[in-house]
Amino acid sequence: MTTPPFDEIDRRIVLATQEGLPLVPAPYAEVARQVGIDEAELLERLRRMQGDGRIRRIGAVPNHYALGYRFNGMTVWDVPDARARALGRAVGALPFVSHCYLRPRHPPDWPYTLFAMVHGRDRDTALAHVEAIARLLGADDLGHQVLFSSRILKKTGLRLSGGHGA
């Protein structure tokens, strides 16, 4: 079992913070009160979750549209399977790629496996990023597309239902 220990208190911490931290001077004291533990224990558990990767980070998540990033392209690439991991690492290391993943194909409709998100305040900047990825992949680019997002239909954090224990 590789899943880190996740007990009922951790679960209550996730439930209490998944909508965000309260914007008050002592937010952790407030969350600790809701969870029913003291603040020191809450801070220790949050540190542990951050250390083992259950929390990626604590901070602000901007709406990138509101910051002017109107051109958000999901670039998708058909690359040779044998080279996909090495290529994914190279593309993921590019400074303008925010997310990079390998995903399964759905032939014949969807031959693309390597996904890389690029963003720009104008379309040309975003397309220049796509060109840079294409140059990096060279002959390993067997075909690609850019899917610009036209609208956010929903965006929330991770949701645990409050109903029952795991």
Partner 1 sequence: MDDLDRRIINTLQEGFPLTARPFAAVAAGLGLDEADLLARLRRLRADNVLTRFGPLFNAEALGGGLTLAAMAVPQERFAAVADLVNAHPEVAHNYAREHRLNMWFVVATERPEQVRPVLEAIAADSGLPVYDMPKLEEFSLSLRFEA
Which residues within the stretch 61-120 sit at the binding site for partner 1 (CB under 8 A)?
61-64, 66-67, 69, 74, 85, 88-89, 91-93, 97-104, 106, 109-110, 119
Q: Is 135 in the site for partner 1 (CB under 8 A)?
A: no
Rounded least distance, CB 30 to partner 1, Å: 11
Rounded least distance, CB 72 to partner 1, Å: 8
Q: Which is nearer to partner 1, 104 or 138 (CB)?
A: 104
Residues numbered 22 to 41 that lie near partner 1 (CB under 8 A) are 23-29, 39
Q: Which is nearer to partner 1, 27 or 143 (CB)?
A: 27
Maximum CA pair distance of the chain?
Answer: 58
Q: Which is nearer to partner 1, 105 or 134 (CB)?
A: 105
Which range of residues in 56-64, 126-134, 135-143 is near partner 1 by CB under 8 A?
Answer: 56-64
- Phi, psi of 76, deg, nearest 5: -130, 135
Q: Which is nearer to partner 1, 140 or 149 (CB)?
A: 149
Q: How far is CA 7 from the centre of its chain?
A: 24
Rounded least distance, CB 139 to partner 1, Å: 20
- Phi, psi of 15, deg, nearest 5: -60, -40
Distance CA 76, CA 6 (A): 35
Residues numbered 138 to 157 that lie near partner 1 (CB under 8 A) are 145, 147-157
Q: Looking at the DSSP assignment, which residues form a beta bridge with residue 114?
A: 77, 102
C-alpha pair distances (Å), 85 with each of 16, 27, 73, 115, 150: 37, 41, 21, 12, 30
Rounded least distance, CB 69 to partner 1, Å: 6
- Phi, psi of 117, deg, nearest 5: -90, 130
CB 127 within 8 A of CB 40: no
